[in-house]
Chains A and B, each alone.
Chain A
């Protein structure tokens, strides 16, 4: 009888205590298009961070340990920008989120940023590369200071990474094919973000002792690039320099394989970063290389354990959106350092922080954008070899394997 009473009392106490702990949790809203790969990765990366931190007791806020509670917010930004702004507003007012992380489609993130800044909530971006998001911080610091970009580096810095890798690839071609001046065909999707990169390529490649044999710009959603590829074949190109973010990247890989083009495709190919690329090209996308973020290489000491654990739990390789994992750790570091969750006090701490995350060793400049550095925030380059994504750059990072040319 008394044991029953004791048990009930303990249960009741436990309930009260857990409620107390629960209501004191730190709410982090994860915003993304949850029906698509990007949102799935946003959420997965956040879950990894939450479980890791909560298991260790939670975030220590001025001595009191508080658990992290994640709020899944489906912004549906790919299909509708108003849906995204409604969703973020809901996360702030209804779900009472303390922090916001995620975002993918730049047009939508620009609109969401406004809502977050109105509410003076910290918004850590994990997907949109548009420079404007951080230019706003410089333009009106007091309003936009709550925004930081965790990933990716801005479009202009992508160029620096690409040319660094191109240099490597060019060198390899010179050695393998005994050619002094490799021929490069630029194949870029027609979109605002590629304009600067295309111009930079046309200007820089000759300086890197590579000849530009032509520039082709199909639509990002083109379903057929045989026209372009036939012309590229005729031009005798050794490298097809790709600047593609849409599904055309899949078509490109597949058709290059089908037409048995002797050139190798390298550049930015967002679809090629996804695990589903091999299946989507029906196994033809061999030798396609692209910039990427996560692989089982030692970009930082945290990378390999994170990628391994992610693969085991979710049965797929993380894409760059999974850097929400890093975002949450950044918040944890800042909160534990200042002992508060007040955004205004956290901002100066993050500004000066060097964050050793799983994706990158990150530091920020005055516009709250990532500072580019090879091996730190530059990301890596991967190549599809027989159904596997193999990382090959930067060569000094541990775990890199060599780049292969098509036979």
Chain B
């Protein structure tokens, strides 16, 4: 049973980590609570379905195309909808909610409300420490690991990453230092959505795809970023693994109570917030006067 928890938790945590990391990036740099984040994850899954299953494209072409398409869409949305109302925090909030709804409804109209399946990239199962794992899940793990490392490299070893971290730290000073904050924000949006899209395309074959699939991960992801500390990238990843494993343990330890895993995750979040209001690794922002 311990091995089951280990492997099962790893896969789910990995997906959550990608989502939470992207969400934190956008929040840290652009101060946007992007409710539509998981909706982009959903769009990527549907894009893959459309290109692969309906369009019959080869897998190695469909995946990058799906990711690029979703990122491009997100940049367009950002330019048209978010940027004009950047000044009004509350307006940005419902703008992202409205966007998520638009995506959901468009998919509902185009694909219908039924559940869709995407074939695995690689078929077959293997045994790891006594647990049967499908190759697709191993692929998910591999992609998550590679993506996290790549993102770490981008943020810590490149100039763009430096600019992003600077803007996340203090926008005004970053501006004074000659960093084009609005362009950096755009790059950040692109990277963030790319993370969500990558999560969407690798995980889509493992889960079921439907136009309402963005709601459940949204709540868990929000719990994770709050737990880890809003704006803290390290916190998001660690928070993702905590919540991922909590959920795995709940499912295994209480077989007839696996529906509780959502409530357990949220309760943990609330407890942590009571004890440490800014989350585990959160930075308390100076009130921007």
- Distance, CA A218 to CA B256, complexed state (A): 7
CA A44 to CA B147, docked complex, whole Å = 47
CB of A281 closer than 8 Å to a CB of B: yes
Residues in chain A near residue B248, CB distance under 8 A = 227
Q: Does A228 contact B (CB under 8 A)?
A: yes
Residues of A within 8 A of B259 (CB): 190, 217-220
Known contacts A217-B256, A230-B132; decide if A247 and B115 are in contact (CB<8 Å).
yes
Q: Does A78 contact B (CB under 8 A)?
A: yes
A224 to B258, CA, bound (A): 11
Residue of B nearest to A217 (CB): B256
Indicate the member of A36, A78, A214, A280 with the most B CB atoms within 10 Å: A280
Which parts of B1-55 form the interface with A (CB within 8 Å)?
1, 4-5, 8, 11-12, 53
Would B251 and A227 count as touching, CB distance under 8 A?
A: yes
Q: Give the residues from 61 to 120 in chain B that come closer than 8 angstroms, CB to CB, to chain A.
A: 108-109, 112-120
Contact with A along B233-275 (1 / 0, CB 8 A): 0000000000000001001100111110110000000000000
**In chain A, what residue has the closest Cβ to B135?**
A258
**A281 proximity list for chain B (CB < 8 A):** 117
Cα distance A282–B8 in the bound complex, in angstroms: 21
Contact with B along A192-234 (1 / 0, CB 8 A): 0000000000000000000000111111111110111011010
Contacts of A36 in B (CB 8 A): 112-114
Is A224's CB under 8 angstroms from B12's CB?
Answer: yes
A251-277: which residues lie under 8 A (CB-CB) from chain B? 251, 254-255, 258-260, 271, 274, 276
Is the beta-carbon distance between A215 and B255 smaller than 8 angstroms?
yes
**Known interface pairs A217-B259, A224-B12, A247-B210. Does A282 touch B113 (Cβ–Cβ under 8 Å)?**
no
B151 within 8 Å of A by Cβ? no
* Interface status of A45 (Cβ within 8 A of chain B): no
| B229 close to chain A: CB less than 8 A | no
Q: Let me know if A33 is at the binding interface, CB within 8 A.
A: yes
Residues on the A chain within 8 Å of B117, using CB: 250, 254, 279-282
B125 is an interface residue with CB less than 8 A from chain A = yes
Q: Most chain-A CB neighbours within 10 Å: which of B117, B119, B255?
A: B117
Tell which of A37, A190, A233 touches B256, judged by Cβ atoms closer than 8 Å. A190
Chain B min CB distance to A190 (Å): 4
Give the number of A-B contacts (CB < 8 Å): 104
A200–B233 alpha-carbon span in the complex (Å) = 50
Interface presence of B186 (CB below 8 A)? no
Query: Do A218 and B251 have beta carbons less than 8 Å apart?
Result: yes
In the complex, per-residue mask of A96-122: 1 if CB is within 8 Å of any chain B CB, else 0: 000000000000000000000000000
A35 within 8 A of B: yes
Q: Is B216 an interface residue (CB 8 A)?
A: yes
Chain A residues closer than 8 Å to B109, beta-carbon distance: 35
* A227-B4, A230-B4 known; A258 vs B134 contact (CB < 8 Å): yes
Please determine whether B119 and A282 come into contact, CB atoms closer than 8 angstroms.
Answer: yes
The smallest beta-carbon distance between B203 and chain A, in angstroms, is: 9
Tell me if B206 is interfacial: C-beta within 8 Å of chain A: yes
Check B255–A283 contact: CB distance below 8 A: no
Asked if B190 CB lies within 8 Å of chain A CBs, one says no
Q: Which of A282-309 contact B (CB under 8 A)?
A: 282-283
Residue B208 at the chain A interface, CB threshold 8 Å: yes
Does B138 have its Cβ within 8 Å of any Cβ on chain A? no
Contacts of B256 in A (CB 8 A): 190, 215-217
Residues of B within 8 A of A280 (CB): 114-117, 208
Instruction: State the CA gap A282–B208 with chains docked (Å).
Output: 10
Q: Given contacts A218-B251, A222-B258, are A276 and B208 in contact (CB under 8 A)?
A: no
- List residues of chain A with CB within 8 A of the CB of B108: 35
B257 proximity list for chain A (CB < 8 A): 190, 217
CB-based nearest A residue for B123: A258
List B contacts of A274 (CB < 8 A). Answer: 114
Assuming the contacts A36-B112, A215-B255, A282-B117, asked whether A259 and B132 have C-beta atoms less than 8 A apart, the reply is yes
Q: Which residue of chain B is the closest to A248 with respect to CB atoms?
A: B208
Residue numbers in A under 8 Å from B261 (CB-CB): 219
**Is B207 engaged at the interface, CB distance under 8 Å to the other chain?**
yes
Which residues of B165-190 have CB atoms within 8 Å of chain A's CB atoms? none
Q: Tell me whether B116 and A259 are in contact (CB under 8 A).
A: no
Chain A neighbourhood of B133, CB < 8 A: 226
Inter-chain contact A250/B125, CB cutoff 8 Å: no
Residue in B53, B113, B115, B252 whose CB lies within 8 Å of A250: B115
Within the complex, what minimum Cβ distance (angstroms) separates B46 from chain A? 14
Q: Which residues of A sit under 8 angstroms from B252, Cβ to Cβ?
A: 227, 231
A254 to B116, CA, bound (A): 12
Closest to A230 in B: B4
Query: B255–A217 contact, CB under 8 A?
Result: yes
- 0/1 string, A35-69, CB within 8 A of B gives 1: 11100000000000000000000000000000000
Q: A216 with B255: in contact, given A230-B131, A282-B120 (CB under 8 Å)?
A: yes
B113 touches A37 (CB 8 A): yes
Residue of B nearest to A189 (CB): B259
| Residue numbers in B under 8 Å from A283 (CB-CB) | 119
Question: Given contacts A190-B256, A214-B255, A217-B256, is CB(A279)–CB(B208) below 8 Å?
Answer: no
Closest 7 CB pairs of A and B: A36-B113, A280-B117, A190-B259, A219-B259, A223-B207, A217-B256, A282-B119
Binding site for B on A (CB under 8 A): 33, 35-37, 78, 190, 214-224, 226-228, 230-231, 233, 247, 250-251, 254-255, 258-260, 271, 274, 276, 279-283
Known: A215-B255, A258-B120. 9 other contacts (CB 8 A): A35-B112, A215-B256, A217-B257, A218-B251, A224-B206, A226-B4, A227-B258, A260-B125, A280-B208
Which residues of B approach A to under 8 Å, CB–CB?
A: 1, 4-5, 8, 11-12, 53, 108-109, 112-120, 125, 131-134, 205-208, 210, 216, 248, 251-252, 255-259, 261-262
5 residue pairs A–B, Cβ–Cβ below 8 Å? A217-B257, A259-B125, A259-B132, A260-B125, A276-B114
